[in-house]
Amino acid sequence: MNIEEQVELLMQGADYGDVELQNAMAKELRERLLLAQKENRPLRVYCGYDPTSTDLHLGHTISMRKLRQFQDLGHDVTFLIGSYTALVGDPSDKNKARPVLTEEKVAENAKTYAEQAFRVLDREKTKIRYNGEWLSRLTLVDLIRLGQNFTVQQFLARENFSKRLDKGEPIYLHETFYALMQGYDAAAMETDVQVGGSDQLFNIIVAGRKLQEALGQRPLVGIITGILPGTDGVQRMSKSTGNIVPINTGADDMFGKLMSVPDSAMGIYMRLVTRWSPQEIAKIESDLAAGSLHPRDAKMNMAEEIVSIFYNAEEAQSGREHFVRMFQQKEVPDEMPEFALQDGQTVLDVILGAKFAESKSKARSLIEQKGVRLDGEVLERGDAPFPHPGVLQVGKRRFVRVK
């Protein structure tokens, strides 16, 4: 790829919420790529991950997909585990303080992160580092000097803090440390490019760049990726809303979950999750608009592409064939009872309401045995809101159309 093609690929799926800022970052990325080419060296690129849980879903992997693009272009990628930032907790997308984790819990969670990341990243080309390596050595005087580069007003202007302030809800002092710590990560590694989701805009564009300048470094280029909606196509993918696509769920189940994504969300899924180039995506969207490609076929191709990233081509093809057998070759019966979904009902509520289980404990047992599916996708949480209307299957032969 030439430089312009690289910029187009690396900015694909970027979301800064501001056209001028996006254009400025694209310009700086172009300049940085040209400089690296002139100096005959790769760019130093990283993204940080706080191990606050053990299981990753598809939304967590968006920044990893961007790191992989940099790897494929020959750049130097670091997968940074936030062994120290996780102790504070990132307030960026939260309306209340995160619980403070123990060092032992962070270490336990971190063990699984890198292995899951290698489903996307090239193991041989990825550096794994922990930010406790440098953050643990900062003194109180160091922290004071870092803090001199920011004002309290800058933090209070952030949307999540300002909302809490207006409601009279507490903002804890330690929450303001997070941006300083993440900014120092960038300076400690002399970063050229930092990747992160749009909830990280302040931490990357303000804190990271500002601290690098204060420490005599050229400010990094921030690649801010969009946030992946869940299987409902609207809300951010999150375990709390039950709209996730886990990456350790199995090829058949991942394929089925991806097929439930609304047509309206296909564009963002193609840009954020697939390996397709901007030109390939433009061709698909052109064919869809012209009517020469059916949305169902486009979605099946997209699902197969995504599944093949996390499993392999054979398992992705198997997932496709399983879905076709289930839904296009009528393993699901044409006639079945119907159930009217009420606002606020959970998966357990629907199972009980459809009389597919005698008690909540038996319904939970069915879920734990992976015997409950919605449109072919395994439902894993009984207490989650029922995801969306569709065909609910409990066991092998019991079906109900949830409307």
Kindly report the number of other CB atoms within 10 A of residue 9's CB atom: 18
Question: Residue 117 pLDDT > 90, yes or no?
Answer: no
Asked if residue 163 has pLDDT above 90, the reply is no
More confident: 65 or 242: 65
Please state the rounded mean pLDDT for residues 121-138: 92
The reported pLDDT for the residue numbered 84 is 84
Give the pLDDT confidence of 256-280 residue by residue, as tens digits. 889 888 899 999 999 999 999 999 9
Q: What percentage of the chain has pLDDT greater than the value 70?
A: 94
What percentage of residues in the chain have a pLDDT greater than 90?
A: 42
**What average pLDDT does this structure show over 108-115?**
74
Q: What is the pLDDT of residue 330?
A: 55
Please check the confidence at residue 38 and state whether its pLDDT lies above 60: yes
Please report where in the chains the tokens 């400010």 appear, as a residue. 219
User: Residue 53: which pLDDT band, with cuts at 50, 70 and 90?
Assistant: low
Domains in the chain and their CATH numbers? Answer: 3-225 (3.40.50.620), 231-331 (1.10.240.10), 333-403 (3.10.290.10)
pLDDT score, position 348:
93
pLDDT by residue (tens digit) across 74-103?
999 999 988 888 777 655 544 445 556 677
Q: Between 179 and 4, whose confidence is greater?
A: 4
Out of 237-241, 315-319, 358-362, pick the least confident.
237-241
- Tell me which of 328 and 235 has the higher pLDDT: 235
Assess contact for 288 and 281: CB atoms under 8 A.
no
pLDDT (mean) for 172-200: 90
The model's pTM is: 0.73
Residue 16's nearest CA partner among 267, 181, 200, 158 is: 200
Of residues 242 and 317, more confidence is placed in: 317
Contacting residues for 312 by C-beta, under 8 A, at least 6 apart: none
Determine the average pLDDT of the residues in 217-244. 87
Reported confidence tier of residue 111, pLDDT bands at 50, 70, 90: confident
Q: Judge whether residue 325 has pLDDT over 70.
A: yes
- Provide the pLDDT for residue 334: 65
Q: What would the mean pLDDT of 118-126 be, rounded to a whole number?
A: 90
Each residue of 293-321: pLDDT tens digit? 888 899 999 999 999 998 889 999 998 98
Higher-pLDDT residue of 340 and 98 is 340
Residue 95 pLDDT: 45
pLDDT(33) > 80: yes
How far is 394 from 397, CA to CA, in rounded Å? 7
pLDDT surpasses 90 at 158: no
**Beta-bridge mates of residue 47:** 79
Given a cut of 60, whether residue 58 has pLDDT beyond it is yes
Q: What is the CA radius of gyration of the chain?
A: 23
